[in-house]
């Protein structure tokens, strides 16, 4: 596994976008202390996220998230039998029985991947590695997603600048000399100022300058091969392509 760099010196969203741009196939690992996340790519598409940190089956997770009903799960378990821990078999059986559709599974996988990426973008330290041609476990549910689209739905754009408040009207000599009428004083409401430039430009930028030390692998050398040599080794797991 090749070490790409550390989060303190690179933009994780740019790294992931480059994986998609160069149609890479393999495993991207983002590690922070004892925590790590695995992102499996095939031809630049995010196929699945790991590791699964729960003993719950795919059916139980779909039930928990409201994708299927308790009745659907109860009627599916006898059909899958001992293969209920296989995400592939569970997904195929649920679709065969009409309890879930391709679109519903894609939407569910999209939500989960988005939440994982949102958490990763909040990490301020850690390291990023990439293993060429690594494939996900055979029993994982594979749903091809665009990581650029997921990132665009997470990272807010810089808010549009608001027009400057109008300058107060200059006071004339007459206004200053005349005594103010005896009325009850009402304090002025505070001026609301919008935030500006909360985030840097999110467009891809060369990352070779982000690795001044020799222990970090320049990203350009990790992702400089053509996509023609990066054909994915198709897993026997079910793959839900983009509609």
What pLDDT digit, counting tens, does each position of 98-121 carry?
A: 999 999 999 999 999 999 999 999
Structural domain contains residue 139 = yes
Q: What is the mean pLDDT of residues 9-16?
A: 96
Structural domain contains residue 20 = yes
Domain count, the chain: 1
Structural domain contains residue 166 = no
Structural domain contains residue 93 = no
Q: What is the pTM of this model?
A: 0.66
Q: Cβ(139)–Cβ(87) under 8 Å?
A: yes
- Please, which pLDDT band fits residue 52 given cuts at 50, 70 and 90? confident
Pick left, alpha or beta for residue 227 (phi over 0 → left; psi -120 to 50 → alpha; otherwise beta).
alpha
Whether the predicted pLDDT of 169 surpasses 90: no
- Please, which pLDDT band fits residue 240 given cuts at 50, 70 and 90? low
Structural domain contains residue 78 = no
Gap between the Cα atoms of 19 and 89, Å rounded: 29
Burial class of 26 by CB neighbour count within 10 A (0 to 12, 13 to 18, 19+): buried
- Please, which pLDDT band fits residue 160 given cuts at 50, 70 and 90? very low
Range of the domain at 231: 2-54+103-158+203-240
Structural domain contains residue 182 = no
């Amino acid at each position: 596994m090749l070490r790409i760099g550390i989060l303190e010196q690179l933009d994780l969203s740019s790294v992931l976008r480059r994986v998609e741009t160069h149609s890479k196939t393999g495993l991207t690992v983002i590690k922070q202390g004892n925590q790590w996340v695995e992102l499996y790519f095939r031809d630049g598409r995010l196929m699945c996220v790991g590791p699964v940190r729960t003993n719950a089956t795919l059916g139980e997770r779909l039930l928990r998230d409201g994708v299927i009903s308790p009745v659907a799960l109860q009627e599916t378990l006898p059909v899958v039998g001992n293969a209920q821990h296989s995400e592939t078999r569970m997904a195929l059986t649920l679709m065969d029985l009409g309890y879930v559709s391709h679109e519903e599974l894609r939407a569910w996988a999209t939500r989960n991947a988005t939440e994982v990426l949102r958490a990763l973008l909040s990490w301020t330290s850690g390291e990023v590695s990439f293993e060429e041609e690594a494939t996900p476990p055979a029993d994982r549910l594979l749903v091809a997603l665009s990581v650029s689209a997921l990132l665009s739905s997470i990272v807010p754009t810089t808010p549009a600048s608001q027009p400057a408040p109008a300058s107060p009207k200059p006071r004339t000599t007459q206004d200053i000399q005349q005594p103010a009428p005896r009325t009850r004083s009402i304090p002025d409401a505070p001026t609301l100022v919008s935030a500006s430039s909360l985030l840097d430009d999110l467009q891809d930028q060369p990352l070779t300058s982000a690795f001044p030390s020799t222990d970090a692998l320049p990203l350009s050398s990790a992702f400089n091969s053509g996509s023609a040599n990066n054909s994915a080794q198709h897993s026997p797991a079910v793959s839900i392509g983009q509609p």
